[in-house]
Amino acid sequence: MNRSIHGLLSVITVLAAAGCQTTASEGSAAPPASDARSSPPPSADAATSSEPVAVTIVGAAKHDSVNVFPVDFGGAPLIDPTHRLVPQERGLDKRPAATKLAFATLPSGTLVLYDSTGSYGWLGELFAIAALNLTSHFGSTASKPVAQYVAGEMAAYKAVVYVGSTYGETLPVAFLDDVLGGTVPVIWLYDNIWQLANRSATFITDYGFNPWAFDISAIDTVTYKATALTRDGNNGSGIMQFNPLDPVKVTVLATATRADGTTLPWAIRSKNLTYVGEMPFSYIDFNDRYLAFCDLLFDTLAPTQKTRHRALLRLEDINPTTNATAFRAEVDYLYANAVPFAVAVVPIFLDPQGLSNAGKSVALRWVDRPAMLTELKYAATHGGSLIMHGYSHQFGNSFNPYDGVTADDFEFFQTHVDPVTDNVIYDGPVPGDSTAWAVGRINAGFAAFTAAGLAAPTVFEYPHYAGSPVDSAAISGLIGTAYHRGLYFGGDLGIVPSSPNHRLGQFFPYTVTDVYGWYVLPENIGNFEPLPFNNHPARLPADLIASAKSNLVIRDGFASFFFHPYYSLANLKAIVTGVKAAGYTFVSIDSL
């Protein structure tokens, strides 16, 4: 059956609470997960613990978006049907300035500051994780709640990112005054920009703009570098509108387009401040305005970066039962066309229920299928780089969530399919999850590679892109490079207890070092999937090629995809040809 659950996210759970606008796209996906069908890394399910009421939105929609989170406007009044006014108290913040401390170190790295208070303080940490992951591409990073900021602290960094996720969180005067000091570049996301304006009586004159109101009208396009990127129309978080905005003092970096064709700035820059008018980590998909933010980071963190567009390809779910003839044909095609590729190797095939063997359980090692093993070794000498794709790509005797068969099920995270909605639900760590258990799986994988006469892999990929924080910490200590989309959890920054019900999915258009310490190779345009499943739409060659073209806005980015060998070689050829024609050069993961 081989399912490829690498969509974006399988289900969207959001919170409905007093004073909170609940918005969500139908069906949820992050960049497809990795393997069997085509589901993405689990959607960041909002909360199901001590938070307010959980609401599940189902069904397939235009967008297959991940990270459908609640929106809280903090009581900001509607001044008309499409605008919520933010505080207009310019220059009235008269709190005494904080005493600055001296930081003797030479400025280096990026400091990520984030909101942490209120009912949705947990969102601040998740968004900070996303920002940390991306900024790690450019060098060292550090993070802390903005409430803990110390006057003068940003002088120790080359840049600061503030993640404004909690409407009205009181920002320290130390932080506001240091931003207004103008000596360090600051990237400010979404909320509380009005507090900066309120701190200075001359803010509008100095910076050339006034944050006026959130435009909550239907907006489904953000244009950046003359490229129209998508924005999920179900995203009701709003985009900051300015009144006034001085075009002489302010550079508009990207524009958003309303349903009636009118536009407003999506991201702007003035002096030392870059401001993005919404949270770019919510409602993301393959062609999303998230890509604009990923590229804008270069302006501040690597302004001299030259343009370069590279592509990666991974052959997925290769196990002892893979069709040797089809696999060989794909390898020969790629090798003949000088296309390096990775091979996601599952060390053992298990079918504990015997669904493929008249009810008798099956366990096959590579040595049990010498013909396929020969082709695997052939691939390793003809442009292929072998990586470890879990150990068995399923979990025990359970249906997790499909049938317990290798390459169909999750291995490092427990899931089930909702019988009513057909969404894949991410439940939490598997029973018995622990550091020792995860290490045991990886060591068993190493042993299987050795027994098959294969070199020990140095790159790991989660089955279906999902694993617990415990698993990630354990596995990253054994294999330091990962090749998958990320799944991150509340508590990953060590400030609050771990919360598996708070999670965020993220794909990367370039290499990063994530919060688990993995050096992550990107997979950002998904995989060929001819039929819809679990509320995820089909993805045909044209869809992957379109995503590759959207990613051209990244000045030094990738178009990275995977392909299952049980699909026609013609589809692989179409994708490779289209990605090359878009301007990408295929490279080996060994070169990264």
Q: Is 303 a domain residue?
A: no
What's the predicted TM-score (pTM) here? 0.91
Indicate which CATH number applies to the domain containing 176. Answer: 3.40.50.880
Q: Which of 235, 265, 281 is the last residue of a domain?
A: 281
Residues whose CB is less than 8 angstroms from the CB of residue 3 and which lie 6 or more positions away in sequence, other chains included: 35, 36, 37, 39, 402, 407, 408, 533
What is the pLDDT at residue 104? Answer: 61
Residues 132 and 169 both lie in one domain:
yes
**What backbone torsions phi and psi does residue 536 show, to the nearest 5 degrees?**
-105, 135
Q: Which of 258, 224, 262 is nearest to 238 (CA)?
A: 258
Structure tokens at 586: 């295929």
Residues 460 and 359 both lie in one domain:
yes
Q: Is 37 a domain residue?
A: no
Q: Is 337 a domain residue?
A: yes
Q: CB–CB of 133/515 below 8 Å? A: yes
Structure tokens at 124: 């601040």
Helix axes 324-336, 569-581, angle to 10 degrees: 20
Q: Is 415 a domain residue?
A: yes
Residues 469 and 546 both lie in one domain:
yes
Q: Is 46 a domain residue?
A: no
Alpha carbon separation from 99 to 91, 105, 144 (Å, rounded)? 20, 19, 19
Q: Which of 266, 281, 296 is the last residue of a domain?
A: 281
What is the pLDDT at residue 70? Answer: 81
Residues 480 and 549 both lie in one domain:
yes
Q: How far apart are CA 274 and CA 14, in angstroms?
A: 29
Q: Which of 552, 564, 482 is nearest to 523 (CA)?
A: 482
Q: How far apart are CA 421 and CA 476, in angstroms?
A: 35
Q: CB–CB of 320/368 below 8 Å? A: yes
Q: How far apart are CA 294 and CA 224, in angstroms?
A: 11
Residues 210 and 150 both lie in one domain:
yes
Residues 248 and 325 both lie in one domain:
no
The three-state secondary structure class of 217 is coil
Q: Is 196 a domain residue?
A: yes
Cβ burial of 111 (10 Å; 0-12, 13-18, 19+) is: buried
Widest CA span of the chain, in angstroms?
78
Q: Please give the angle made by the CA atoms of 305, 308 and 311, to the nearest 5 degrees.
A: 140
Residues 159 and 112 both lie in one domain:
yes
Residues 274 and 313 both lie in one domain:
no
Q: How far apart are CA 89 and CA 498, in angstroms?
A: 38
Q: How far apart are CA 157 and CA 148, in angstroms?
A: 16
Residues 191 and 109 both lie in one domain:
yes
Residues 546 and 581 both lie in one domain:
yes
Residues 140 and 190 both lie in one domain:
yes
Neighbour tally for 358: CB within 10 Å: 6
Total number of domains in the chain: 2
Q: How far apart are CA 27 and CA 295, in angstroms?
A: 27
Tens-binned pLDDT, residue by residue, of the chain (592 aa): 555 555 444 333 332 222 233 222 222 223 333 343 333 333 333 222 222 222 222 222 345 788 888 888 888 899 999 999 999 999 999 999 998 877 767 889 999 999 999 888 999 999 999 999 999 999 999 999 999 999 999 999 999 999 999 999 999 999 999 999 988 999 999 999 999 999 999 999 999 999 999 999 999 999 999 999 999 989 999 999 999 999 999 999 999 999 999 999 999 999 999 999 999 999 999 999 999 999 999 999 999 999 999 999 999 999 999 999 999 999 999 999 999 999 999 999 999 999 999 999 999 999 999 999 999 999 999 999 999 999 999 999 999 999 999 999 999 999 999 999 999 999 999 999 999 999 999 999 999 999 999 999 999 999 999 999 999 999 999 999 999 999 999 999 988 888 888 999 999 999 999 999 999 999 999 999 999 999 999 999 999 999 999 999 999 999 999 999 999 999 999 999 999 999 999 999 999 9
Indicate which CATH number applies to the domain containing 472. Answer: 3.20.20.370
Residues 266 and 373 both lie in one domain:
no
Q: Is 293 a domain residue?
A: no
Residues whose CB is less than 8 angstroms from the CB of residue 550 and which lie 6 or more positions away in sequence, other chains included: 227, 229, 286, 287, 291
Parent domain of 91: 78-281
Q: Is 370 a domain residue?
A: yes
